[in-house]
Amino acid sequence: MALPLHRFYIEDMDILVSTLQSGALSLASYLAAHVLLCLVPAFFIAGALAALVPQQAIIRFLGPDAPKYISYPAAAGAGSLLAVCSCTIQPLFAGIYSKGAGLGPAITFLFFAPAANILALSYTGVALGADFAIARIVLALCFGIGIGLLMALIYRRDDAARTASNAAFADGGHDSVTIARQTLVFLAVLVALLIAGTLKVDWLSAPVFSSVLPWDFATTAQALLNRWVPVNELKGEEGLSLQGLMLIGLLVAIGAAAWRGLGQVDNGLNRLTYLTLGLIAMTLVFAALGVRADSAGLVLTVTRRTLAVTLLCASLIPLARRFELWDMQQWLWETWRFIKMIFPLLIVGVFLVGVIRRFIEPEWIEFIAGSNTVLANLAGVVFGVFMYFPTLVEVPIAKMFLSLGMHPGPLIAYLMADPELSLQSILITSAIIGKLKAWTYVGLVALFSTVSGLTYGAWIDGTPLTTLAATIGGFILALTLGVHLIERAQRLVVH
């Protein structure tokens, strides 16, 4: 009996080790590929919004008392310009929410930016066809604003209490408050840095010149990384390059320097502050550099993206000097506050995704999602949550599943849910707005994504538009009734 027990113990240990390894490898590939040019500028933008933009200006356009015909289109319009994923949008969402934006417009911004930004829509149109792109923007716009309105309606008392103190600080009324020109320019350069680093266009990717750094073991080292962190496109595992490994090392160095360099910046700038900022700029430039292992060594390629990121980083220095020193200290401190709040949850979430991914086979989803049923669309939503792919990667994955027989309905449900929901983004959203609101948002996104898939799939299958309109009308009526019952229950609790 001892031998079988010993064998089972060894098998269990193997499963445990491989599971933990899957989480660690998922984290390594994510950090190497997506944190830098996406998240780092996003954190600094969020810090600038919190420190430099007057609270009343945010309340004026996105506050709960702002006209809905202004606040919700403004939130969707701002989101459409940013090619970001569900993780990168979190610091920006936290920034506007903390400055007094209403819950509804902030949620619309959180939903719309990953789901229907210009780049995602254009890429969807090229890869999957104009029908999918049109369906994606129409559904994202309707449901993004719809989810925002529902969240604002359900939690209007909490939102009113949260923003009451903000409104009390208004100096001369919201209409008289403007954002300083130097702040707008500073924010524009930070947004341009985010766009230059993430925009996938041939013009930015075009090489300018290349150079070879001699290293006899470059290909051997890359082959070793390929064995340790293999590429699996079906599961979204992107592997780890030599450049990615060096970027992880730079991230560790930034974290060590930032702990005091940014964490204590409210007491004044110190040497570690300048070291941290220098390391961040150097890391962003290196991330925008093309690095490839070759038999001759490391091939370093300077692209237009590299030049753009370098120029934008350099232009921030004279712009920052126009502000008061205290303003810059507040900007860096707010940036660090968002990093401490969001980044640890991101690490935990990405690790858990890798662990769960170890037990999920994409073939299961293909088998379940071959027809336009409620179960198939729910499977598309669940797949988008637990098999999270970075921004734009969901499009080629969707194309692959379409070719393997996935019905267009569940495919739209997946395209709606994947950019919005991931374990890490759910954890971060909970930290920003609270667990109850966060899980309400998750439930609404899952519900609306499923309805999106069912609607589009039914239209593809030839269901008459009148039938679809009647069905959607019934769904809206039932949803409205549910919200009314929630409001009634809230009033009974209050009284």
Q: What is the mean pLDDT of the chain?
A: 80
Look up residue 205 and give its two tokens.
Answer: 């990717």
Please, which pLDDT band fits residue 323 given cuts at 50, 70 and 90? very high
The predicted pLDDT at position 171 comes to 47
How many H helices and E strands in the chain?
Answer: 23, 5
d(CA 351, CA 423): 10
The DSSP secondary structure of 241-299, one letter per residue, reads: -HHHHHHHHHHHHHHHHHHHHTTTGGG---HHHHHHHHHHHHHHHHHTSEEEEETTEEE
- What would the pLDDT profile of 384-428 be if each residue is shown by its tens digit? 776 666 655 677 677 767 766 788 889 888 888 887 777 778 888
d(CA 226, CA 174): 56
The predicted pLDDT at position 7 comes to 58
Please, which pLDDT band fits residue 33 given cuts at 50, 70 and 90? low
Please, which pLDDT band fits residue 491 given cuts at 50, 70 and 90? low
Please, which pLDDT band fits residue 245 given cuts at 50, 70 and 90? confident
The predicted pLDDT at position 172 comes to 47
> What's the average model confidence in pLDDT over 442-469?
86
Residue identified by tokens 């712009």 is 319
- What would the pLDDT profile of 293-309 be if each residue is shown by its tens digit? 888 888 999 999 999 99
231-232 and 297-303 strand pairing: unpaired
The identity of residue 427, as a single letter, is: L
84 close to 92: Cβ distance less than 8 angstroms? yes
Please, which pLDDT band fits residue 102 given cuts at 50, 70 and 90? confident
The identity of residue 260, as a single letter, is: R
Look up residue 149 and give its two tokens.
Answer: 């309105």
Please, which pLDDT band fits residue 253 given cuts at 50, 70 and 90? very high
> What's the average model confidence in pLDDT over 232-254?
79
Instruction: Kindly give, in sequence order, each residue whose CB lies less than 8 Å from that of residue 419, ignoring residues fewer than 6 positions away.
Output: 85, 86, 114, 115, 120, 384, 391, 394
The predicted pLDDT at position 310 comes to 95
d(CA 277, CA 268): 14
The predicted pLDDT at position 169 comes to 47
d(CA 253, CA 273): 13
> What's the average model confidence in pLDDT over 462-488?
76
The predicted pLDDT at position 186 comes to 94
CA-nearest of 107, 191, 203 to 156 is: 107
Collapsed DSSP state (helix, strand, coil) of residue 103: helix
Flag whether pLDDT at 168 surpasses 70: no
The predicted pLDDT at position 300 comes to 92
d(CA 332, CA 33): 24
Comparison of pLDDT for 247 and 90, the residue scoring more: 247
Give, to the nearest 10 degrees, the angle between helix 304-320 and helix 271-287. 160
CA-nearest of 115, 385, 379 to 236 is: 385
Gyration radius (Cα) of the chain, Å: 24
The DSSP secondary structure of 89-131, one letter per residue, reads: HHHHHHHHHHTT--HHHHHHHHHHHHHH-HHHHHHHHHHH-HH
Query: How far does CA 143 lie from the centroid of its chain?
Result: 18
Collapsed DSSP state (helix, strand, coil) of residue 73: helix
Report phi then psi at 390, rounded to 5.
Answer: -65, 165
